[in-house]
C-alpha cells in the first residue's frame, strides 16, 4: 500500500442512520515514497521502528492482523461467541478474494495467536 493507516476500532465510526462506516483519525495516513520508505518518520511520534511500522500499517496482512488483534479485546467473554466471530471474520476475508499467500498468513496468525505480528508489534492497549 502507498500509505500506512492506524486501523483500529477507536478510529472507525458507524453512522447508525445509514450503516455507513467511516475511518476517522486525527493524524493523516503516513505516506511511503517509491522505494517503500516513510516520507516522514519521527522517533518522537512513532513508537515502532520504521520497518515494523510499515509492515503493520502499510501491508494488508499487517493492517488486518493488527485490527483483528485489537478488535478481539472488545469481544464478549463467551468463548463460543468469540469462536463464531473469528470464524465469520476469516470467512469474510476469504470471500473478499484476498490473495492466497496473504490469506494463508492471516489465517495462520489468527489460529496460532499472532506469532509473526507479536514479533513485530507489541502495542496492546490502543
Contact 90, 107 (CB under 8 A): yes
- Please check whether residue 22 lies inside any domain of the structure: yes
The answer to whether residue 125 sits within a structural domain is: no
DSSP-derived 3-state class of residue 112: coil
Number of structural domains, the chain? Answer: 1
Q: What is the pLDDT of residues 40-64, one digit of tens each?
A: 888 888 888 899 989 988 888 998 8
Considering the domain boundaries, does residue 46 fall inside one?
yes
Distances (CA, A) of 2 to 32, 36, 71, 114: 5, 8, 24, 24
Domain that holds residue 54: 3-120
For the entire predicted model, the pTM comes to 0.74
pLDDT in tens, 65-119: 988 888 887 776 777 878 888 888 888 888 888 889 999 999 999 999 899 998 8
Our CA dihedral for 20, 103, 87, 124, rounded to 10 degrees, sits at: -70
Name the nearest CA neighbour of 64 among 120, 12, 23, 110. 110
Q: Say if 126 falls within a structural domain.
A: no
62: in domain:
yes
Amino acid at each position: 500500500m502507498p500509505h500506512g493507516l492506524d486501523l483500529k476500532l477507536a478510529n472507525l465510526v458507524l453512522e447508525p442512520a445509514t450503516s455507513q462506516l467511516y475511518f476517522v483519525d486525527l493524524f493523516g495516513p503516513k505516506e511511503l515514497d517509491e522505494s517503500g520508505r516513510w516520507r516522514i518518520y519521527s522517533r518522537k511520534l512513532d513508537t515502532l521502528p520504521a520497518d515494523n511500522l510499515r509492515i503493520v500499517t502499510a501491508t494488508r496482512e499487517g493492517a488486518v492482523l493488527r485490527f483483528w488483534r485489537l478488535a478481539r479485546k472488545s469481544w464478549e467473554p463467551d468463548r463460543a461467541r468469540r469462536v463464531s466471530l473469528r470464524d465469520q471474520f476469516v470467512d469474510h476475508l476469504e470471500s473478499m478474494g484476498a490473495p492466497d499467500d496473504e490469506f494463508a498468513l492471516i489465517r495462520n496468525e489468527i489460529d496460532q495467536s499472532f506469532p509473526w505480528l507479536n514479533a513485530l508489534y507489541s502495542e496492546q492497549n490502543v
